[in-house]
Amino acid sequence: MDVVVGPLWEQLESEAPWLFKELGLKTVYSDYDRKHMGDSIAILKSDRLRLRFVRDKSQNFCDIACLDEPDKWWPLSELLALMYGLSPAETDQFTLTWRFELTPMLSALHAGFPEILNRFTTQWAQTKPALEQRRTELRRHCMELLSKTPVHVSRIGPFRRLWHHLLAKLKLDPYSRIMRSAVRLANAAATQDSPPTSGPPTDSRH
């Protein structure tokens, strides 16, 4: 993980000056909690879109919002998966590659920014329904994984049914911390319960 050196907006100004000089973004909101593992947030805005960077328990996240819906945030990883033609179930490979570190996340944002900008401005009418459809498919995928999680692995015990009911009731964002943890449990359970396979693992990206 990145070393917490101070407020996130200061780190952005130091490591990614192009956000401000090239893209014309300005910091419109920021916060920092030194006592809580250095948690921090920085919201940047230009005349075309908004970016939100969050450091939560040393894990870094980046979200994007269209100016027409400034409080509707979409994870950078979700948009990149759409841009590169990955299935909703493969979206997490970006965060796994980044390992929640800020530097590789910024590199991916910089490399893809021209198309990102187009999708959140001139192509927003097409981008929004595509993202919403992927969100629905990903939520369904998460719930399917959870439904297959053995009780002895999930450690939910007699509360497992209530757990699923609450997830469905709350309609949790598939990228929420709770949902990501639950899916990791489900994947771990599937790995433990499946028989060993011969040969090298396959890369789902190909």
- Gap between the Cα atoms of 140 and 42, Å rounded: 31
Least confident of 36-40, 121-125, 172-176: 172-176
Q: Are 186 and 145 in contact (CB under 8 A)?
A: yes
pLDDT, one tens digit per residue, over 160-199 is 554 554 454 444 444 455 455 555 555 554 444 444 333 3
Is residue 201 very low, low, confident or very high in pLDDT (cuts 50, 70, 90)?
A: very low
Tokens of 9: 């907006």
- pLDDT at position 180, please? 54
- Which helix (H) or strand (E) segment holds residue 60: the answer is strand 59-66
- The more confidently predicted of residues 171 and 47 is 47
Strands lying side by side in the sheet with 49-56: 26-33, 39-45, 49-56, 59-66, 74-75
Which three-class secondary structure state does DSSP give residue 62? strand
Buried b (16+ CB within 10 A) or exposed e, 36-45: eebbbbbbbb
* Residue ranges covered by each domain of the chain: 8-86+95-125, 133-191
